[in-house]
Amino acid sequence: EHTVVFMQRGPLVLVSVSSSRQSEQQLRNELLYVYNQIVSMLTQASITRIFEHKKNYDLRRLLAGSEKILDGLLNLVDSDPSFLLSAVHCLPLASSLRDSLSQILQKAITPNLVFSILIAKNQLLTIVQEKMVIDDARLEPADLHLLLNLIGASSAFQAGEIWTPICLPSFNPDCYFYAYISYLDPPECTVCLVLLSTDKEAFYSVAECKRKIEEAMQTQNALNSIAKAHSYSVSQVGVSDLRHFMYKPFDVPDNHRQLTQFT
């Protein structure tokens, strides 16, 4: 027995055929993530414009080479609770270290730099938003999920400094940010810095921010501390016979600017 779910977004019709026990709503959520991952690469405005010009256009031409990204997304949706909880998984760190990392990011700024994001082991370490550029919006977990999937799905990001356009659909589905992506701990490639700018010509100034961040982290021996970080164990909860747990705060006000997180 199979469940077939259709979802239309603009000119695109997405179809899911599943033999799992997932509900129709869960399958729709997966289709929405697939659609948003496509938008993250092309923008919604570009997709609309293409099909207004040619209704039978084969979108696979523009998505060539992205199969691994979409496959990786579907694998994550099946296994990563971040999607179910609509939250971001953060790597456990001492608050003093996380605050120190945030301060390092805050000091390394350049015009039109909007977000500075530090990731380790596919989990969030810290994120800094430049309020002077964008003050009335925030990054949503869904956009960060797409960004993490993009980085994790391609080994090309481990080769050096990457400068690539990326759309964050929940933030603005019609515009690109320009992402500077670089690993700080080659060859292990577990700690990744992502700097998002609105200026497509800002590569060199953003790369200089990375240099400052890298120097400050080396001075504080931060990479060594991050490498020693591990997820919480069940034994730390202190509940007998407990095999697994996840914690997500549910009392965060809607107007709170903090990114929704879980442990």
Burial 21-50 (b: 16+ CB within 10 A, else e): ebeeebbbbbbebbbbbbbbbbbbbebeeb
| Nearest-angstrom CA–CA distance, 42 and 60 | 12
Which of 20-24, 48-52, 144-148, 167-171 comes out lowest in average pLDDT?
20-24
Q: Which residue has the higher pLDDT, 181 or 65?
A: 181
For residue range 204-217, what is the model confidence (pLDDT) as tens digits? 999 999 999 999 99
For residue range 105-132, what is the model confidence (pLDDT) as tens digits? 999 999 999 999 999 999 999 999 987 6
Residue 245 inside a domain? The answer is no
Of 52, 79, 106, which marks where a domain is finished?
A: 79
The total number of structural domains that make up the chain: 2
Residues 72, 114 within the same domain: no
* Per-residue pLDDT at 135: 60
Residues 15, 39 within the same domain: yes
Q: pLDDT band at residue 1, thresholds of 50, 70 and 90?
A: confident
Residues 49, 135 within the same domain: no
* Per-residue pLDDT at 110: 93
| Nearest-angstrom CA–CA distance, 87 and 155 | 25
> Residue 117's closest CA among 147, 87, 76, 155?
147
Q: Tell me, what amino acid is at 162? A: I
Q: pLDDT band at residue 202, thresholds of 50, 70 and 90?
A: very high
Residue 238 inside a domain? The answer is no
Q: Tell me, what amino acid is at 149? A: N
Domain, as residue range, for 108? 89-227
Q: Kindly report the average pLDDT of the chain as a whole number.
A: 91
| Nearest-angstrom CA–CA distance, 17 and 221 | 49
Q: pLDDT band at residue 134, thresholds of 50, 70 and 90?
A: low
Residue 263 inside a domain? The answer is no
The DSSP result for 131-159, as a single string, is TTT--S----HHHHHHHHHHHHH-GGGGS
